[in-house]
Amino acid sequence: MKISLNWLKEYLDGDISVQTAVEALERIGLMVEGREEKDGDIVLEVETYSNRPDTLGHLGMARELAVALGLRLKERNWPLSELAVRTADLADVQILDADLCPRYCGVVVKGIKVGPSPAWLQKRIESMGLNPINNVVDVSNYVLFSTSHPIHAFDLDKIAGARVIIRRAKKGERLLCLDGTDLSLAPDMLVIADEVKPIALAGVIGGQASAVTEETKDIFIESAYFNPVSVRLTRKAAGLQTDASYRFERGADISFPPQAALMAASLLTPFGGRSSREPADVFPLPPKKKEIILRHRRITELLGVQVDETFVQKTLTDLELGVEQQQPGVWRVKAPSWRVDLDREADLIEEVARFYGYEKVPSVVPSLQVVDPIPDKSREKLDRVRPLLFHYGFNEVINFSFSDADRERLLATGFEAIQIRNPISAKASLLRTNILGGLLETAAWNKNRGLDAIQIFETGNVYFRDERGCRERLTLGLLSTGMREEPHWRQKSREADFFHLKGVCEALLQQLRYEPFSFEKAEHPCFEPGSGLAMAYKEEKIGYLGLVVGRIREVFDLKQPVCAAEIDLELLFGKQPKPFTYEAVAKYPAIVRDVSLLVPRDVSYQDICKAIEKLPLPILEESRLIDLYSGESVPKDKISLSFRFVYRHLQRTLLAEEVDRAEQQVLVQLKRAFGAQLREGGKIDNRTGKN
């Protein structure tokens, strides 16, 4: 809101400097965001709040300053050039929809000579950043920016039948607005109509047909109170926002219409305007005066400081509230009609605090008793996941949750994307159904800036619509591409390949005790055919990983292989992990045996593991694949797998024969199940190195 210092002085008794005004306003929460000098005036840009429509005019700001600075408000008189005929006899005002228009007041001003405004008025209008138009329009604006109450002037001769009817629009009615908009009116819009047609959109904008022109002689000044919600819905539907609608939708002062109308009439007397002191005032729905009980004790309880009772009473009285002491420390308070924000005790306490000064409220660190923490399992688990991923060398990224149709089509996750009804742009019109899209974008960004080693992850929601409605699921996305480390004299740089990322997934599930987990081959639209795996915990699918398919990489201009994975953390965190139990450290030595087996190529490693696990061999502590070989010395349809078996008995030292027997069982089992053969020379007892 623009506030002119000279204009304020029309209301404030006493001279105040700009510095004084700014400091006082800011102290009570009215922040000055800009100031400019204009023709010997200073215009402040003051931030206002949506619950304080009264501050959208100089009178309201003057009231605030008067209380803050202990100044008096000037009484202003609005003399008229009296007209003997009452307005009601010149125009017939009728409210048909009182719910949307609880009060409508009109004043007819006769005999005006429309023309340019005098210099003082033009200056005022210009200080608000507007161009002066003519005396009638400028007076309307002057009243609005003075009092915050919007008024509107019609050419009386253009109101058919001199009838002013406030009613809902009829289907099919149109209005050509002052700004040139040809508006198709909807039945829930409130209009001002004459005998024949709508002549204004109530509280929003006037119509061209009834506008004041150079030829206008007699005008009808409208000063009303319109239902705030109705004005808001109407101006939204019409796509219009005016100084008037801005104020009406925040709530005008319902007591003020006659004063605003007479003020305008008075300001028009220098131009020949004559009017009756008695407006046509239709007021079918007067509001009930609400009484608020204010307890001094509550002020102290809420603010944490003892505010003097006389200060409370004086502040509220200065703010023109009706204050009556009911008993010591208890007041009955009535807020003036312009303070639409004051409804409850807490609102009054804020007023007291504002003028008392927030800076005088002490800073007290509360003494906090012990309370039970509110558990957040998902968050606790996430707090374990992230450090593990940092440890594996992965960098955290955060991408926007938005997506678009192209991307969703490209990544084809099979989820129905949620549409944003009022997106800021087509590029952000959907919510993402996957983390991968953002990760690919991030990879491309970094790749284009010369980074070669890109290991990134994001934890965040994906969103989709299903039969239960709009859903969001916490998801982990992982992406790895390029080298795992920069070249270095001690280490060969390793490429980030599929098994690197698989290792990350395995380590993560293992460290979170989501065991047993398993992987199954599964095709996925994002992955190269034959490169995808589905991850499962206790047989339930929790995610997938694979090599991103070329056509997707191309879109992001990523030429080298890209491995990616997604894990549904919401699903996973909802599952019970393997309980943690402490196991005593083994006291007796293990016997380690390495065995190389020739296995048919179509047998999967996972099946071999399952077969070994099925054996009732409590002494087999661990079996690990330590080498894989296929080449000249291995038949084409076979592959050589070298396992390291670790045998241990928890209560005693194992005998070699026991291990031999166990090993034999393993070999027999694998031979029976898969036709696995021991390679020649393929057994080594690592303890002695003897064949």
| Binding residues among 44-63 for other proteins as defined by CB under 8 A | 49-52
Show Cβ contacts of residue 388 under 8 Å, excluding neighbours closer than 6 positions.
Answer: 507, 508, 511, 512
The alpha carbon dihedral of 378, 383, 386, 387 has a sign of: negative
Residues 601-640 touching other proteins, rule: CB under 8 A, are 629, 633
CB 90 within 8 A of CB 30: no
**Closest approach of other proteins to the CB of residue 683, in Å:** 9
Residues 282-301 touching other proteins, rule: CB under 8 A, are 301
**Closest approach of other proteins to the CB of residue 560, in Å:** 17
CB 273 within 8 A of CB 118: no
Q: Estimate to the nearest angstrom the gap between the alpha carbon of 350 and the chain centroid.
A: 27
**Closest approach of other proteins to the CB of residue 191, in Å:** 19
**Closest approach of other proteins to the CB of residue 361, in Å:** 5
CB 114 within 8 A of CB 212: yes
For other proteins, the closer CB: 56 or 191: 56
3 class by beta-carbon count within 10 Å (0-12 exposed, 13-18 middle, 19+ buried)? buried
680 binds other proteins (CB under 8 A): yes
Residues 73-92 touching other proteins, rule: CB under 8 A, are none
The per-residue DSSP string of 122-188 comes to HHHHHHTT-----HHHHHHHHHHHHHS---EEEEGGGSGGGEEEEEEPPTT-EEEBTTS-EEEPPTT
- How do beta strands 533-537 and 540-547 pair? antiparallel
Binning the chain into helix, strand and coil, the percentages to the nearest 5 are 30, 30, 40
**Closest approach of other proteins to the CB of residue 457, in Å:** 8
The per-residue DSSP string of 287-325 comes to PPPPEEEEEHHHHHHHHSS---HHHHHHHHHHTT-EEEE
For other proteins, the closer CB: 266 or 455: 455
460 binds other proteins (CB under 8 A): yes
**Closest approach of other proteins to the CB of residue 390, in Å:** 4
In terms of Cα–Cα distance, which of 640, 635, 634, 644 is closest to 666?
A: 644
Q: Spell out, one character per residue from 3 to 42, where the chain touches other proteins: x when CB under 8 A holds, - when not.
A: -----------------------xxxx-x-----------
Among 255, 461, 510, 518, binds other proteins (CB under 8 A): 461
689 binds other proteins (CB under 8 A): yes
Task: Give the integer Cα–Cα distance in Å for 244 and 611.
Answer: 81
Name the one range near other proteins by CB under 8 A: 129-137, 180-188, 372-380, 574-582. 372-380
Among 90, 91, 212, 418, binds other proteins (CB under 8 A): 418
Task: Give the integer Cα–Cα distance in Å for 21 and 65.
Answer: 7
Tokens of 603: 């047998």
For other proteins, the closer CB: 409 or 490: 490
For other proteins, the closer CB: 120 or 489: 489
For other proteins, the closer CB: 361 or 412: 361
Name the one range near other proteins by CB under 8 A: 104-112, 465-473, 618-626, 645-653. 465-473
CB 458 within 8 A of CB 567: no
Name the one range near other proteins by CB under 8 A: 86-94, 209-217, 226-234, 286-294. 226-234
**Closest approach of other proteins to the CB of residue 78, in Å:** 30
DSSP secondary-structure letter at 45? E
**Closest approach of other proteins to the CB of residue 517, in Å:** 22
232 binds other proteins (CB under 8 A): yes
Between the alpha carbon of residue 153 and those of residues 208, 216, 469, 608, the distances in Å are 12, 11, 51, 91
The alpha carbon dihedral of 145, 146, 149, 150 has a sign of: negative
Name the one range near other proteins by CB under 8 A: 65-73, 258-266, 315-323, 361-369. 361-369
Residues 480-509 touching other proteins, rule: CB under 8 A, are 484-486, 488-491
CB 77 within 8 A of CB 95: no
**Closest approach of other proteins to the CB of residue 428, in Å:** 6
Name the one range near other proteins by CB under 8 A: 95-103, 136-144, 354-362, 651-659. 354-362
Among 131, 310, 327, 363, binds other proteins (CB under 8 A): 363
Task: Give the integer Cα–Cα distance in Å for 535 and 518.
Answer: 6
Residues 544-583 touching other proteins, rule: CB under 8 A, are none
For other proteins, the closer CB: 197 or 298: 298
**Closest approach of other proteins to the CB of residue 70, in Å:** 18
398 binds other proteins (CB under 8 A): yes
Q: Applying CB under 8 A, what is the total number of residues that bind other proteins?
A: 103
For other proteins, the closer CB: 273 or 460: 460
Tokens of 14: 């006493």
CB 455 within 8 A of CB 567: no
For other proteins, the closer CB: 277 or 386: 386
For other proteins, the closer CB: 280 or 385: 385
Q: Which residues of 95-122 are buried (b: 16+ CB within 10 A; e: fewer)?
A: bebeebbbbbbbbbbbbbebeebeeebb
299 class by beta-carbon count within 10 Å (0-12 exposed, 13-18 middle, 19+ buried)? buried
For other proteins, the closer CB: 271 or 463: 463
390 binds other proteins (CB under 8 A): yes
Among 85, 96, 305, 426, binds other proteins (CB under 8 A): 305
Show Cβ contacts of residue 593 under 8 Å, excluding neighbours closer than 6 positions.
Answer: 644, 645, 647, 659, 663, 683, 684, 685, 686
234 binds other proteins (CB under 8 A): no
Q: Spell out, one character per residue from 324 to 353, where the chain touches other proteins: x when CB under 8 A holds, - when not.
A: --------------------xxxx-xx--x
Task: Give the integer Cα–Cα distance in Å for 531 and 519.
Answer: 12
Among 354, 524, 593, 649, binds other proteins (CB under 8 A): 354
Name the one range near other proteins by CB under 8 A: 90-98, 285-293, 366-374, 646-654. 366-374
Name the one range near other proteins by CB under 8 A: 66-74, 110-118, 204-212, 420-428. 420-428
233 binds other proteins (CB under 8 A): yes
CB 430 within 8 A of CB 403: yes
394 binds other proteins (CB under 8 A): yes
Task: Give the integer Cα–Cα distance in Å for 353 and 307.
Answer: 9
376 binds other proteins (CB under 8 A): yes
Show Cβ contacts of residue 557 under 8 Å, excluding neighbours closer than 6 positions.
Answer: 444, 447, 448
Residues 144-163 touching other proteins, rule: CB under 8 A, are none
Residues 423-442 touching other proteins, rule: CB under 8 A, are 423-424, 428, 431, 442
Among 92, 684, 685, 686, binds other proteins (CB under 8 A): 684
596 binds other proteins (CB under 8 A): yes
